[in-house]
Structure 1
Amino acid sequence: MDHHLPVDVRGSIRLFAFYIANGTLDMELLDGIDYKPEIMAFGSALEQVFAIFANVLQVDEQGEVVNHGDAQYRAAQWVRMVCDPSYVVEPPFEPWETELA
């Protein structure tokens, strides 16, 4: 039995990390928002962003990611909410989406 994450999942996580570090996470939703200082100043905010991404990410029976864009968008919504208190997340986060495992 293979105990590693499927290649597609690892690639999706790597790409997500690149977007966060590069300042290009969901360019449309976060246009004009310099989120990096806010979420990278303390580990807990960055931890929450990755938790949301990982909790929302889905894979099929072959281990292929089926909703990278949706997982990235939900994480970006949380970032926007942190940086812009007037932003309303729609739909609101479900408890399972923000759970830290």
Structure 2
Amino acid sequence: MTTQVSHGASGAIRRFAGWVGRGSVGYPLFDQYKPQGRSDVDGYWETLSSEASSLETLFAVFVNNLELDEEGEPTNEKYAERRAATFLFSYMTGELPPGEPDIGGDEATTY
């Protein structure tokens, strides 16, 4: 059993953190579903940086959905990203993107 996070898992979390920090998490989900002229998902970084618990939950959704194989390497990084983007979209708009299931309790649990 490994006692450290694998390079693959570390890379997945690093990439996700980079997207959050650059304000690009959720792309293209936001652009795909954002109604014309709607700006309530634009500039989400200001909201997240002032509401720390929502930022924690965003990372929890990503990590709680990230599955690892026997060697600790991620097997569903894109799915985990999409679920986190779904949380963020819902948090910012009060709606779910069309066709996306609601975020379940286990997905958003912080430990």
Structure 1 and Structure 2 fold alike (TM over 0.5)? yes
Q: Does 1:61 align with 2:80?
A: no
1:2 Cα deviation after fit: 3.8
Percent identity, aligned pairs only, is: 30
Other structure's SS at 2:106 match:
helix
Contact 1:8 / 1:63 at 8 angstroms: preserved in 2?
A: yes
Number of residue pairs matched? 100
Normalised by the length of structure 1, the TM-score is: 0.90
Partners of 2:2 and 2:45 lie apart in 1 by 35
1:30 Cα deviation after fit: 2.2
CA RMSD of aligned residues (A): 1.5
Query: Runs of 5+ in structure 2 lacking a partner?
Result: 32-38
Contact 1:52 / 1:75 at 8 angstroms: preserved in 2?
A: yes
Query: Runs of 5+ in structure 1 lacking a partner?
Result: none
Q: Does 1:81 align with 2:98?
A: no
Contact 2:57 / 2:108 at 8 angstroms: preserved in 1?
A: yes
Partners of 1:3 and 1:64 lie apart in 2 by 13
